Structure 1
Amino acid sequence: MSEHQNRTGRHSGRRAALVVAPMLVLALVACGSGSSDKGDDGGEAACAFRVEYADVTFTDVAAMPSKPTELLGQGTQLGCSDSNDETGKDESVDVYRVEGIDPKVAVAAGDDARLLRVDKGSKVPAEITSWLSQDSASG
């Protein structure tokens, strides 16, 4: 392989990584990736991390880089049944404002500060994808 072909191959690999990385972020957001999908024993849980706050149900999107500081109030982490057919109990959880996102669209909650979005349909609101893009660029 010539030196030119070698350099061209390396550059096209970088370009591919730059194109694939944002799509991967969006795919993870759409799937609601997160540590809360694990049961206590490390196995997969039957349902996602969901919180009810102000008569709205929010569902898990991603981990927050740091815990937000503006407390909105108390919400309810909705219990679920894991793969062992045990019934989870609803628990009280602190709910926080996410800077730059209207709390009617998304909030943060939980001990490990998970970003949660309104549980409506599969489309992730533009405010959230924009916030995630800005956060990953600064981190």
Structure 2
Amino acid sequence: MFMIITNFNFNKSLLLNEYFGVLILLIFSIFLAILILFLSYILVLQKPDLEKLSSYECGFEPYEDARHKFDIKFYIVAVLFIIFDLEAIFLFPWSISLSNLDILGFWSMIDFIFELGVGFVYVWQMNVLEWD
């Protein structure tokens, strides 16, 4: 019975020592977020007008007819950015673990980079990135 109580106090002390810094950081970050929110509301001049209060729909007027034609180049460039950005993220772990990879891992990534380059050249040749 004495061993269980001693062990419990040891675990409680260990828990307090390990996570006390995390608790302080959490309390400080919540306090700082509330302080910044409060000060930004108090210190800024509130002058709303019709233009500031209107919704913004990617450069289009939000209250027009939904059946009008619009240019989709903005959306194409956004999708291409997301695709190439996500594909570029795979380069970082590969470059870090390059010394631990075998020949198959190396050539698989070289193939991936080649396909990424072919896709970029195709997008460039189709003039998708040009804003006429």
Q: TM-score normalized by structure 2?
A: 0.27
User: In proportion to residue count, which structure has more strand?
Assistant: 1
Q: Larger helix proportion, structure 1 or 2?
A: 2
TM-score normalised according to structure 1 size: 0.26
